[in-house]
Amino acid sequence: MKVRDFLLERYFAKYEFSVRHMLSASDCETLSVRELMEGADAEVEGLWKELRLSYTESRGHPALLREIARETGLSADEAIVLNPEEGIFLTLNSLLDRDDHVVVLSPCYQSLYEIPKSLGCEVTRWYLKKEDGEWTLDLPFLEKAVKENTRLVIINFPHNPTGFLPSIEQMNAIAELSVKKGFFVFSDEMYRGLEHDPEDRLPSAPALIRRSVALGGLSKAYGLPGLRIGWITSTDRWLLDRIAALKDYTTICSSAPSEILAIAALRRSGELADRCRGIVRENLELARSFFREFSGRFEWFEPRGSSVAFPRLLGGQSVKDFCERAVTERNLMILPDCVFDVDWNHFRVGLGRRAFPEALSVLRELLD
Ligand SMILES: Cc1ncc(COP(=O)(O)O)c(C=O)c1O
């Protein structure tokens, strides 16, 4: 398989563990194993203590599948447990063939378009638009972009890197178009649970769109990326069987300790997501007033969900130089938009970490 380097992951690999300050992480403040297990019920505590480190069930621990079913509104046999990035890889490899046409909401996490490209698919990028300081969805573009051979439309809500979240009416419009034009929908829901107003939370795609598959996981909204636990859900049994068969060539099964910790997490999912959303909300207020104060230097675009935002640098300096200066002069990592394959002079801000106020004050020093 020939695939281009993953620009964002290469950037993180270079700086994530060496810089002192991080402004652009997309995950939320994590928990220790002790903190997670302190809240566990007696059954999970028993599973953890008696855990034997053997191979596990390929589709996932039955108790974990039940928790995922509760979380997503599907049934346990409509889910497979896997590593989130693996979920993208296996699903796209299962669904797509050479010369299929794929429409990908953009800018986005690179594997969502790079894997289709590596499989020989034709990829159309469907960019979010900017209107009055907000991100908007261009549904007429999607309607025009879909062709005879469009096999798949890939969406990601709440959206990385903009924090965009559509209305239920917009999601229904995508569902209707999917029926009318016959395409499948891949819905990346890694940030589901991080809607800034919980009232805006959308149903998971398979509950809305008949021919769809969704990716969820514990990395973002629950603050547990180190578990490497995610899930694919769909009502399409053929697709799930295909993904399960391909998984034999990647990880075979998930890590036994991670599965038990994931059960512990999902039994407290409301509480863990509230905790992450609380951190994001506090940081978002700080970010808003900071970018208002420096409105001559930045253009702010209000996010409605996720743990990220995507403001624009004004004033003629290239965002790439700006990010390079931040890292060399202030030990501060800021993610430039080139890692999302766009050249709009935007950068990503990560709102999920407790050290965000400190990182923002380092950015202030850089501006001063
Ligand atoms: C939109 C999106 N999908 C999938 C992933 C992959 O999640 P993980 O890093 O937990 O494998 C990420 C990670 O940043 C993401 O932002």
Tens of pLDDT, residues 129-166: 999 999 999 999 999 999 999 999 999 999 999 999 99
Q: What is the pLDDT of residues 169-204, one digit of tens each?
A: 999 999 999 999 999 999 999 999 999 999 999 999
Sequence length of the chain is: 368
CA of 106 to the centre of ligand 1 (A): 15
Amino acid at 161: P
* Cis preceding linkage at 62, omega within 30: no
Q: How confident is the model at residue 1 (pLDDT cuts 50, 70, 90)?
A: confident
Amino acid at 178: S
pTM over 0.85: yes
Whether the per-residue pLDDT at 8 is higher than 90: the answer is yes
Q: Do the beta carbons of residue 133 and residue 299 sit within 8 Å? A: yes
For the chain, list the strands marked E by DSSP: 21-22, 79-82, 101-106, 122-127, 129-131, 134-136, 150-156, 184-188, 212-217, 230-234, 298-299, 308-309, 312-313, 332-333, 335-336, 347-350
Q: Is 188 in the pocket of ligand 1 (CB under 6 A)?
A: yes
Q: Is 217 in the pocket of ligand 1 (CB under 6 A)?
A: yes
Q: Is 161 in the pocket of ligand 1 (CB under 6 A)?
A: no
Q: How confident is the model at residue 289 (pLDDT cuts 50, 70, 90)?
A: very high
Which one, of 199, 206, 205, 231, lies nearest residue 218 by Cα?
231
Where do the domains of the chain lie, and which CATH numbers do they carry? 7-32+270-367 (3.90.1150.10), 44-268 (3.40.640.10)
Q: Is 85 in the pocket of ligand 1 (CB under 6 A)?
A: yes
**pLDDT confidence of residue 368:** 86
CA of 83 to the centre of ligand 1 (A): 10
